[in-house]
A and B are shown apart, each in its own frame.
Chain A
Amino acid sequence: MRLPRKYQGGKAVRNTRFRWLALTLAVGLALAAMSCKGSSKSTATPQATGTQPAAATGTQPAAFTGTVKVGISTTLSGAIAQLGKNGLQGVTLAVDDLNAKGGLLGKKIEVVSADDQAKPDVGSTNVRNMILNDKVVAVFGPVSSAVAAAEEGIAAQNKIPIFFHTSNDTVLMTKQFTKYGFQVVPNTTMEPRAIAAYACQQPYTKWATIGPDYSYGHDTVDTFIKDLKACKPGVEVVNAQWPKLGSSDFTPYISAIQSAKPDALFLAIYGGDLVTFSKQAAGYNLAKQMKMFGAYSISALQPLGADAPAGGVTWFRAPIYLPDGTPGVDNAKIKTFIDQYHAKFGQWPGIFSILAYSAVQTWADGVKKANSFDGDKIAAALPGVTVSTVRGDIKIRACDHQAEIPEYVGTLSDQVNSTYGFRTPTNVFIGQPDKIMLTCAESEALRGK
C-alpha cells in the first residue's frame, strides 16, 4: 500500500491560505485560457494540414489534355469545422461536375485542400504552399474573414485569383481590395441592411435582444437596432441580454426575456449557441409569444427539426430551400444541385455549400471568358460581366468585384419539411442588391481610392 507522499510524513503545510489561493489562481488561469479557446470556437487541436487530392471521378473522358489544380484552404477542425466542410464539399462537387462535362479548356481540374484551423497565419502558409508547390491556378477562400484578409494578400502577390464563398466581411472588397479578389456572398453591409429593411415593414415596436458578450455580439445588436430606429420611429428595446459565448444554459435568459413581454426578439447568438437557445426556448413556447429573428443556418435548422421556431424570421445568403415561385430563383436547377449533393455526401447541402459551388462556377466562367487559366487575364475578364451559376445569373460588379446578389429574408415554415427534416423559409422577402449594396462611390471611398 503506497500513500500519496503528502500523507506519509508529518510535513505540515505552512501558509495554507496562500497555498490555497495559489492553487485556485492556477486553476482559474488554466480555465480562463481554456474558455478563451472555447470562445474563439476552436477547441480542437490541429489536424493534418497536408494537401489531399479530391476523390478521383470514376470514368475519365479521353479528351483531357492535362490537369490544373485549384486550392481551398478552410477551417476543417474545431467548432466551426462544419462550415468549412460544407464549403469544401461544394467546391469538390462543382469541380466533379466540370470534369464530367470535359473539364475546362480541355484540362481536368483537381482540388487540393488544407485546414487553416481558423488561424490567419496557417491560412497564409497553406495558400502560399498551394501556389508555390501545388501550382494551383485559383484559390477558394476560408470561413473566417480574418483568415480571408491574410490569404487575399498572398494570392495578389502571386497573381492568383481568389474567390470568397463563406467569409464575407465588407473589408475584403473595400480596404483589402485587390484586383484578384472576388466575392460571391452578400457582405456584412448587405445582410444587416436587408434584415432591417424587412423588420421595418413589420409591426413590431417593442424589441428584446440577446447577443454574445463580446464585440461581435454588441456590434451586431447595436447596428440592427440603429438601422431599425432610423426607418421605424417608436422602436424601443425593452430587454437586452448578453450571455457569454458558449453558454450551456440560456434558461434564465429566456424567462427574463419572456417577462419583458417584447413583440419581437433579435438573436445575435449563432451556431451551437443558437441551437441550444432555441431548444430551451421551445420548452418555454417562446416562438408563440414573440417573433424570433435569428441566423438559422442549415447546420442549426437540421438538428433543431421541430424545435426551430415556427414563424421565426431568418435570412439566407443564397436561394436554397426557398419556396417555388420566389422571383429570380430557378428551383429546378437548385433541386438538382441539392439531390446531387445529397447523393454524393449523404447530407443536405448548407448555404455555404451552394455558395462554394457557385464560386467555382464563377471562376470557370472567368476561365472561359479569358480563354486562359492566367490570373491576370481572369482578373481582367471577370469584372463587369454576368456569370451563370446554380444560384442564377450573377453580375460581378466592376468597381469592387462584389457579386450583385440579393439577401433572402423569410419566416420558417409551420411544418417541418418531410424530405429534409427541417423547417424551410416561406414568405420570402428579397433584399435587392441595389437597395442593400454600398454604392461604387462608397465602396471606393472605403478603399481610400
Chain B
Amino acid sequence: MDLGNVAIQLLSGMTVAGYLFMVSAGMTLVFGAMRVINIAHGSFYMYAAFIVAAIVGKGTGASGMFWVALLVAPLIVAAMGTATEVTIMRRIYTKEHLTQLLATFALFYIFADVALQIWGGAFRSVQAAPVLTGQVNVLGRSFPKYNFFVMGVAVVVGVAMWLLLQRTKLGWRIRAAVEDPELLAATGTNVRLLFTTVFTIGALLAGVAGAVVAPLVSVAPGLDAGILVEAFIVAVIGGLGSIAGAAIGAIILGLFQAIGILWVPTWASAFTYIAMILVLAVRPWGLLGTPER
C-alpha cells in the first residue's frame, strides 16, 4: 500500500466533502428552521456558477475578476433567495409536506428553464485566479492547489456558521426556532422576518458552493440536479436540521466514496447509498438529527 496514493485519495474525498457540506448546510439550515425541503436549493448553486462564468468570461483569470465574481455571485443568489422566500416560500410553510415538495419542485424547473433562456445550453468554463492554479506536492504526488482552496472555504463557512449560530442573537433565534417556534413567537420575535433571513442565508450558502466549484466543473444546465441528490443524502445522513450533522455527513460520504473508488471501483456508485442505508437503518432521523416533534 502506497501511502502517497491513500493520502491523495483521502484529500480528493475531502474536496468532495468540502463542497457537499456547503450545499447541504444551506439545505439543512432551511429545513431545521422552516421544516421545508427546498428542491430548488440546487438551482441557487447552479445560478451562482453561471454568474461566476458570466463575470469571469473567457478571460485568463489574470484580471482579478475571479475574486469579484466569488463575492458577487453568492450575494446575487442570496437576493434571489430573499425574493423567492417573500413571494413563494412563506405561503407554503403551513401546507402539507407534499405541497411544499411540489412547489419547490416546480421552482426547480422554472429556474432551470430561465437559466437555459439566459445562458443557453453550451458548456462554459471558468478559469480560477492564477494564484489558485497549479499543483502542490503531497508525499511525492501532485495535488491541485484549487482543491485545498475548496476545503479551506468549506472550513471557513463551517466556522462562520458555528459562530453565527452559537455567538450571535440571530443564531440564538434560529436555534430557538428549530427547538420551539411557539415560545419564540411568544417572546416577541418577528418569526416571519427570521424565516426570510434563514432562507436567504441558505441560498447564500448554496451560492458560495456554486461560485467556489465553478472552476472545477463544466458550467451548464444539469448542475442543479446533479448536486441535489448528493446534498440531500448528506443532509439526511447528518440529520436534517443539523449543520454539524451536514459536516459529518459530507465527510462520511466524501471519504466513503473516495475509498470505494480506490479499492472496489466496480461498486463505487453504490457506496453513497450504502452509507445512507446504514445510517438510516440505525437512526432514521440521521446522526445528529432529532426525531420529529
- Interface, chain A (partner B; CB < 8 A): 1-8, 13, 16-17, 19-21, 23-24, 26-27, 30-32, 34-35, 37-38, 41, 43-45, 77-82, 85, 213, 239-244, 246-249, 251-256, 258-259, 271-273, 275-276, 279-280, 283-285, 299-300, 302-305, 307, 421
Contact = CB atoms under 8 A, between A and B. Distances in A.
A307 B254 CA distance: 25
Contacts of A4: 34-35, 93-94, 181
A256 B2 CA distance: 12
> Quick one: which of B147, B182, B229 has the most chain A CB within 10 A?
B229
A284 B185 contact: no
Contact of B292 (A13, A279, A280, A285): A13
A244 B269 CA distance: 7
Contacts, number: 213
Contact of B217 (A34, A35, A279): A279
B215 A303 contact: no
A276 B218 contact: yes
A30 B220 contact: no
- The 3 A-B pairs with the shortest beta carbon distances in the complex, nearest first, are A283-B144, A275-B218, A303-B125
B37 A27 contact: yes
B50 interface: no
A78 B147 CA distance: 30
Contacts of A78: 121, 221
Nearest to B122: A82
B16 A271 contact: no
Contacts of A285: 135, 142
A44 B122 contact: no
B218 A43 contact: no
B12 A243 contact: no
Given A276-B216, A421-B58, A24 B293 contact: no
B222 interface: yes
> Quick one: which of A23, A34, A248, A285 has the most chain B CB within 10 A?
A248
B101 A26 contact: yes
B280 interface: yes
Interface in B113-159: 113, 116, 120-125, 127, 133, 135, 141-147
B24 interface: no
A299 B123 contact: yes
B230 to A, nearest CB: 8
A23 B217 CA distance: 31
23 contacts: A13-B292, A24-B236, A24-B284, A27-B101, A31-B232, A32-B229, A34-B39, A44-B116, A78-B121, A82-B120, A251-B147, A252-B261, A255-B11, A259-B5, A272-B218, A272-B222, A275-B220, A276-B218, A283-B147, A300-B123, A303-B123, A303-B218, A305-B125
B266 A242 contact: yes
A303 B217 CA distance: 11
B268 A272 contact: no
B265 A79 contact: no
Given A6-B35, A242-B268, A31 B228 contact: yes
A14 to B, nearest CB: 11
A35 B220 contact: no
Given A27-B101, A241-B268, A276-B216, A259 B8 contact: yes
A438 B122 CA distance: 34
Nearest to B257: A252
Given A4-B93, A26-B101, A243-B268, A284 B135 contact: yes
Contacts of B167: none
Contacts of A41: 222
A38 B225 CA distance: 7
A51 B123 CA distance: 26
Contacts of B291: 16-17, 20
B123 A271 contact: yes
Given A256-B258, A305-B127, 16 more contacts: A1-B185, A8-B182, A17-B291, A31-B228, A32-B229, A43-B225, A44-B112, A79-B220, A82-B121, A241-B265, A242-B266, A251-B16, A252-B257, A272-B220, A280-B144, A303-B125
Contacts of A32: 229
Interface of B: 2, 5, 8-9, 11-13, 15-16, 19, 34-35, 37, 39, 58, 93-94, 97-98, 101, 105, 108-109, 112-113, 116, 120-125, 127, 133, 135, 141-147, 181-182, 185, 190-192, 213, 215-218, 220-229, 232, 236, 254, 257-258, 261-262, 265-266, 268-269, 280, 284-285, 291-293
Contact of A246 (B93, B109, B222, B280): B222
Given A251-B15, A256-B261, A259-B5, A304 B284 contact: no
A385 to B, nearest CB: 37
B192 A1 contact: yes
Contact of A284 (B143, B236, B262): B143
A271 B293 CA distance: 46
Contacts of A241: 261, 265, 268
A35 to B, nearest CB: 5
A19 B204 CA distance: 30
Contacts of A8: 182
Contact of B144 (A2, A44, A247, A284): A284
B222 A43 contact: yes
